[in-house]
Amino acid sequence: MLRPSLFPGEENDLNKFHLELRGVSKEYAGFVAVESVDLKVARGEFLVLLGPSGSGKTTILSMMGGFTVPTTGHMYIDGHDVTETTPAHRPTATVFQDYALFPHMSVLQNVSFGLTMRKVSKPLRYQRAETALETMGLSGLGDREIHQLSGGQRQRVALARAIAVEPEVLLLDEPLGALDQKIRRQMQVELVRLQKTLGVTFVHVTHDQEEAMSIADNIALINKGRIEDYGPPDRIYLRPATLFAATFMGDSNIFSGEVVGNQADWVEIKTQTGNLRIAGSQEIGTSVHIMLRPEQIKVGSSESSDTFSMGVVRIVDVTFQGTHRLCRALGGADETVEFLLRLPPEHAVSPSDCLSIYALMSDVVLLTR
Ligand code: ATP
């Protein structure tokens, strides 16, 4: 599949990666903010850069947009090396967390600003700005001053300004951070709709794992300047690659353990809540962790080979949350191990109730790093 190139005289293969980072690092006076990041983003993909504060998400996005030059490594768009290309010469547009709207300009002037910079003729730029406003549900607000808009409307103006220049890659730095919870949810749905409608590649920064899971095609989980885990949201949630990924992506039960036996394709692990055999190849004596999500722990007894019995636990507290009951429980020898269970709402339990619990072996995740 071929489409006209941004770079005249060339045609680009749509099947190759749209945006690619190879060995990209950024150092500030000896401090490594981003370290050896390799990342490939397909054309039309919605990638989310997720991670805690200070992990390097904004720095990666800023290098994609051309606002920060990498210390080492290369960045490609459509197969062209853009490592040192300025923002104005890249097919990217960035929506900043604070929106960076011009307070002394009207909504229409704000939205057409990027087109003015690109020397697009006045009639055409107003036409494109009006279309962008319409796409963002802001028709009729072009003459308003910025201070006459709600937070949600300002957010839409910032998005309209970015899409008006018809970028190939839209970079979004925590664009929903300033919105309240309800508008934030609405905007998440709208962003996905917008991305599918425009067919543009989106890279979106957030520290909110629920937001990341609800909008991303793929998540790059960033920790200490490195990609800790990468993949579709369900894979990262259900089969996290590392202990950090398991704890960052929602509630989890993590049990420490030690490999006490091994065969060709399985290992036996001794944990604080019982022994289990699981696929693996670690040496005897290796320290590991196993993980289960709260909703994967089931109530009842099961001793079959495809289940992991964790004995009896005592409920410590219960909160009814509508869709489920969130329970904290203690188990293991001397009740030293804490469990988090998400029981169905119809399962009435009270503090001090004792329950036998188990999980399906297929749900158990072995974490070796
Ligand atoms: P947040 O979610 O809080 O915005 P982040 O994951 O986006 O965080 P970055 O803003 O990329 O993190 O910062 C990564 C690290 O690099 C931080 O420790 C930050 O202090 C440092 N850093 C970022 N910009 C600079 C700079 N211009 N000079 C020195 N250090 C910087």
pLDDT tens column, 43-72 = 999 999 999 999 999 999 999 999 999 999
pLDDT at res. 14: 41
CA–centroid distance, 58 to ligand 1, in Å, is 7
The atom of ligand 1 lying closest to the CA of 68 is: 27
Centre of ligand 1 to C-alpha 135, Å, is 33
Q: Nearest residue CA, atom 3 of ligand 1?
A: 53
Residue whose Cα lies nearest atom 19 of ligand 1: it is 54
Q: What share of the chain is helix, strand, coil (3-state, %, to 5)?
A: 25, 35, 35
Residue 84 Cα distances to 20, 28, 37, 70, 72, angstroms: 14, 17, 17, 8, 11
Tens-place pLDDT, residues 268-308? 999 999 899 999 999 999 999 999 999 999 999 877 889 99
Q: Which atom of ligand 1 is nearest to the CA of 225?
A: 14
What is the reported pLDDT for 137?
87
- How many Å lie between the centroid of ligand 1 and the Cα of residue 250? 24
Whose CA is closest to atom 21 on ligand 1?
33
Nearest CA to ligand 1 atom 11: 56
Q: Which residues of 269-293 are buried (b: 16+ CB within 10 A; e: fewer)?
A: bebebbebebebeeeeebebbbbbb
The predicted structure's pLDDT at residue 310: 93
Query: Which residue's CA is the nearest one to ligand 1's atom 20?
Result: 54
For ligand 1, atom 22, name the residue with the nearest CA.
33
Read off φ and ψ for residue 232, nearest 5 degrees.
-65, 150
Contacts of 138 (CB under 8 A, 6+ apart): 107, 153, 156, 157, 160
| Ligand 1 surroundings by CB, under 6 angstroms | 28, 31, 33, 51, 53-59, 207
Q: How far is the CA of 33 from the centre of ligand 1 (A)?
A: 7
Residue 56 alpha carbon to ligand 1 centre in Å: 6
pLDDT, position 225 = 97
Unique residue bearing structure tokens 């990638």 = 47
How many Å lie between the centroid of ligand 1 and the Cα of residue 59? Answer: 6
Global pTM reads: 0.90
**What's the pLDDT at 13?**
47
* 97 CA: nearest ligand 1 atom: 4
Chain segment 247-266, per-residue pLDDT in tens = 999 899 999 999 999 998 99
Mutation probe of ligand 1 site: the residue of 25, 31, 224, 248 with most atoms within 8 A of C-beta: 31
Which of ligand 1's atoms lies nearest the C-alpha of 61? 11
Transcribe 293-307 into DSSP letters.
-GGG-EES---STTE
Mean pLDDT by 10 residues, the chain (369 residues): 39 67 96 97 96 96 96 95 92 87 92 88 91 89 92 89 92 85 85 90 95 96 97 97 95 96 92 92 95 96 87 96 96 90 94 96 95
Asked if 138 contacts 157 with a C-beta cutoff of 8 angstroms, the reply is: yes
Task: Compute, in angstroms, the gap from residue 340 CA to the centroid of ligand 1.
Answer: 34
Centre of ligand 1 from the C-alpha of residue 344, in Å = 42
Q: Whose CA is nearest to atom 7 of ligand 1?
A: 58
**Can you tell me the distance from the alpha carbon of 49 to that of 369, in angstroms, rounded to the nearest whole number?**
21
At position 6, the amino acid (one-letter code) is L
> How far away, in angstroms, is 225 Cα from ligand 1 center?
9
